[in-house]
Structure 1
Amino acid sequence: MAHSTFFAAICMLILSHSGVKATTFTIVNKCDYVVWPGILSNAGVQALPQTGFTLQSGETTTISAPTSWGGRFWGRTHCSQDSTGKFSCLTGDCGSGKVECLGNGAAPPATLAEFTLDGAGGLDFFDVSLVDGYNIPMLVVPQGGTGQNCTNTGCVVDLNDSCPSDLKVMSTDGSDGLACKSACEAFGDPQYCCTGAYGTPDTCKPSSYSEVFKTACPRAYSYAYDDKTSTFTCANADYTITFCPTPNTSQKSTQGQQNTETTPTSTSPTLINGTMVYEGGLDESGAGASSPSSSKLTHVVGITMAIWWSWQLF
């Protein structure tokens, strides 16, 4: 009986350390302007303590998400507070009137990083989506995960200046492109929105507009059924989400932006596995460094060995 009780205690201790763990999201702002990240949890999933915050140029913050969490991250830009204290943004605004989004999603167009943790087969499913349009470069890098399809994804190209004119969202003075709409938002046509008669993978196909996004960002979702090349999976990973993974100076500061000056770095696009990225755009991969997951695994192995030796004493 004593052995059984001790063994049960061992199992509980091992599970508490090596069982399904919380996932850490590291949010990095490499833009030369302020970004206000927003977070929306999926329906039926417990909301994270933070739903929106300010991230100055060069700043990093970490957020812990519980097992089986699902939701999305995005960046809000050109944000300000009026004389009444109401907070709003020209892109990615969540309509809460506050820095915290409080359960509201992003108004399109907005670049989205979407996650479903601990899904089918115990895998995390994630993607970067331009289905709701684009407003800011974004890169998602798994840290310490495993799996055949556990790799970086994102859209690191600045599409705001190269956006087709009938999709472009301009600044109030017409001098700058702030975001790039999806064809669905711009025209409301079912063939672009994958609705009605076009509501299946067989009937909804890429359009000339979605191909603009896909050509620039081959791993990002460009339309609703762009699954085969745009969904990625990892086991036991943490994630780094980087805004402007290479120095980006195309968005000029506006009222309330508190722009931080940086020295622009000359970069040129390079193809890696068929995906256009900028030199340095994958630096967040942490190759050769000890990841949080590997450190936790080492910790678990040590605990397990200590328990095994203790068991021999009984």
Structure 2
Amino acid sequence: MALQLHLQNNLLLLILVIISAAGPRTSESARIFTIVNNCKETLWPAVTPGDNFNGGGFVLKPGQSKVFTAPVGWVGRIWARTGCNFDKNGNGSCQTGACGSSLKCTASGKAPASLAEFTLAALDFYDVSLVDGFNVPVVVTPINGKGNCSIAGCDSDLRSSCPDELAVKANGKIIACRSACDVFNADEYCCRGVYGNPVTCKATFYSSKFKQACPKAYSYAYDDPTSIFTCSGTDYVISFCSSRNQTVCTYHNNQLHCSGSRGLNSLITSWLIIMLVAFSMLS
């Protein structure tokens, strides 16, 4: 009887420890950003402000990734530059997304560029914007967060369906798709003047084409309801040229966490069930 009571007490203690470990994940002081290049071409990702991201610019060959940590309070954007050529001093030029002539970005990129935008707080806000046009597909996947935490972004390649009047070409190939505002500079497309509010600024023919291809990305300035997402205590994987359904992973506290997987909480639940069954057998 004493042995049975001892086993019961130990099982109860272990269950309480595991329940405590599996409790709600609170907002932490930093977010881990994993930036992945799944494109067939080399990219030069850019970040502003870039103090926590290798000074704001770096190179990623196909299949490569880099990991960074940004503090809560960071408000910034991440995008890809294409067709770049930098010398050993980090000076050069890019076909799309250029931020001046430096590898390290200290200013916003030149349109057109697909933008991943973040506001990190107790509750993070994030989105992918095509308001300034499109150059490569980009998807933002939050991992291990609490809240809405939807996958944002555009995994369609709009270059293949870009209207001729918006197309940016190099050597006969479409390398980017400009926004209608950038091309026509009209209030209707730029959501300014009498169109400078969500009541009068509506989707246009061009923004609707973007939205149809990329329903989880901003297609024009007031495209908020289906385009901006919230999540707390999460890490982010920013993947270029990836499917929204593709599994992506990040390391947090020396553990691998992946999207779409059962993860640690499911494992803990399984252990709880096993121990509760064992406890009932000892009763």
Distance in 1 (CA, whole Å) between partners of 2:128 and 2:259 is 20
Q: How many residues align?
A: 232
TM (norm. structure 2) is: 0.77
2:283 equivalent to 1:286: no
Q: Which residue of structure 1 aligns with residue 224 of structure 2?
A: 227
Give the residue type in structure 2 aligned to 1:48: N
In terms of fraction of residues, the more helix-rich structure is 2
Which protein shows a greater Rg? 2
Are the aligned partners of 2:91 and 2:103 in contact in 1 as well (CA < 8 Å)?
no
Distance of 1:40 and 1:290 partners within structure 2? 32
1:78 alignment partner, SS class:
coil
Q: CA RMSD in A?
A: 2.1
Structure 2 unaligned residues grouped into runs of 5+: 1-24, 249-257, 269-283
Within 5 A, what are the aligned runs for 1:243-262? 243-246=240-243
Whether the 8 Å contact between 2:155 and 2:214 is mirrored in structure 1 is yes
Question: Which range is displaced more, 75-84 or 231-240?
Answer: 75-84
In structure 2, relative to structure 1, the CA distance for the partners of 1:35 and 1:183 (3 Å cut) is: same
Matches of 2:162 and 2:87, distance apart in 1: 30
Match of 1:26 in 2: 34
User: Offset at 1:282?
Assistant: 2.9
Equivalent residue for 1:88, pick from 84, 93, 105: 93
Which deviates more, 64-73 or 79-88?
79-88
- Matched residue type, 1:20: E
1:152 alignment partner AA: I
Paired residue type of 2:208? E
- Tell me the SS of whatever aligns to 2:84: strand
Conservation of the 8 A alpha-carbon contact between 2:33 and 2:68? yes
Residues 90 and 103 in structure 2, CA contact (< 8 A), matched pair in contact too? no
What TM-score results when the alignment is normalised by the length of structure 1? 0.70
Q: Deviation per CA, 1:77-135: give whole Å up to 9, x if none.
A: 0111379973110000111x22111x2111000000000011xxx21000000000000
SS of alignment partner, residue 157 of structure 2: coil
Report whether the alignment pairs 1:237 with 2:234. yes
The 5 A counterparts of 1:32-71 are 32-41=40-49, 47-50=51-54, 51-71=56-76
What do residues 180-222 of structure 1 show as CA deviations (whole Å, max 9, x unaligned)?
0000001100110011111111111110000010000001000
Query: Are residue 142 (structure 1) and residue 142 (structure 2) matched?
Result: yes
Match of 1:104 in 2: 107
Larger mean Cα displacement after TM superposition, 73-82 or 204-213: 73-82
Confirm whether residue 213 of structure 1 aligns to residue 218 of structure 2: no
* Consecutive unaligned residues in structure 1, runs of 5 or more: 1-16, 247-276, 299-314
